Structures are given as C-alpha cells and as structure tokens.
Amino acid sequence: MSHLVAPSLLSANFLNLEKDILMLNQSEADWYHLDVMDGVFVPNISFGFPIIEKIRKATIKQLDIHLMIVDPERYLERFKKAGADIISIHMEACKNPIAALRTIRRLQAKAGIVINPATPVNILADVVYEVDMVLLMSVNPGFGGQSFIPHTIEKVITLKEMIESRNLNVMIEVDGGVDLQNAFTLVNSGVDVLVAGNTIFASADPKETIHQLKNIC
C-alpha cells in the first residue's frame, strides 16, 4: 500500500474552514486529521464536538481524530457519534489503554494509540496487539508549526520491526514537523500516514504540496 497523507486542520484557516475543507475534498489527501486538545493534557484548546460535527458534514474522506485529552474513555462514544472514523488516544493520558482501544473498536471505529517524543516505543509491546494504528508524535504535542524531532526516525524503524516481528497489520502515522524534506525518509523508514499541517496550509498551492507529499517515492 502506498502511504497516505492526512492534512491537519489545526493549521487551516479557522475563519474560512469550509473553503479549506472543500479544497481538501478535491485534493489527493486521504484523511482529515483533527487534533482535539483539552488544555490539561496539553497547554492548548482546540476543536469541540459542535465543530467536529460541522466538519463531518462537509468532508468526504476518513476523519482521523487524535485525542490529546486526559481520560479519553469518557468521550469515545461521543467522538464516534460526531463522525470519527479513526480515534487515537495517548498512552500517557489513559488509565487503561487496552480497555479504551477495545471500546473504540466496539464502536466500529479504527483504534489508534499515540506516544509522545519522550516515550519509548517498547511501552507498546502489549498494546500493539489491540490497535489499527500507532501515531508517533514527532514534536511535543500542543501547538502546530514546531520543528521535527530527528530521533523519530529511529522510533519508526523500531516500531516497524516490532509490528513485523509479530506479523500484525498495524499502520504507523507520524505527526509534527512533517515536510517535503523529511517525508521521503519517513516513508522509507516505514511510515504509512504522514500528517502535515503548516507544510500544506502555509503553501502557496496546498493541492500541489499534497500531490508532492503523495508522490515522494
């Protein structure tokens, strides 16, 4: 399978969000990536349920929701109801990640687990059996526009070996500082899904930038 591109709506124009969504609908983007922040797990606040519900009505592709919130178990059903196709929760923010991941799958969404840059990949040794996707943060979560953390590449390689050694069908997603310079190395290291925010939305031609991200190999 060729890699996917998931533009992060955190970097879109909030005053004209529908225009940016319609552009993504017409682009080669595969998913829409939504970072949900609670101001507790990360020092920022972003999308709530009413906005997600409106976004879902305007979108035609998979809605990839990344929960940067404490105790995400409380809201899994509501996020699914709001339109999530994929729900990813942080290992660091969840009391019982395996139970939460099983709940996501029971709700008929794809289940993802996320780890921060300082969290080692080996913490996923048991959890990886319960997921459809692992999201590796390549910046410290909370704000867009940060620089890519280089040791993420090593984490991708280690994670890919873990997945393949267990003969699992688990995708690897990377979010944070992804651009046209590091995308090639990421994909060739084993990344299946590139999340890109500023690289796309700050571009003079976002659709062309998405095209380039899709055709880097």
Active-site residue among 30, 38, 175, 192?
A: 175
> Is-catalytic flag, 179?
no
Closest CA to 156 of 170, 142, 141, 145: 170
Q: Do residues 116 and 140 make contact, with C-beta atoms less than 8 angstroms apart?
A: yes
Give the number of residues written for the chain.
217
Please name the residue that has the structure tokens 């459809």. Answer: 132
Handedness of CA 142, 148, 149, 154 (dihedral sign): positive
Q: Beta-strand (E) ranges in the chain?
A: 4-7, 31-37, 62-68, 86-90, 110-115, 133-137, 171-175, 193-196
> Is-catalytic flag, 71?
no
Distance CA 110, CA 101 (A): 9
Distance CA 90, CA 80 (A): 17
Q: Helical H runs in the chain?
A: 17-26, 49-58, 76-82, 97-106, 152-165, 183-189, 198-201, 206-214
What is the CA 184 to chain-centroid distance, rounded? 18
Active-site residue among 20, 35, 132, 192?
A: 35
Beta pairing, strands 171-175 & 193-196 = parallel
Active-site residue set: 35, 175
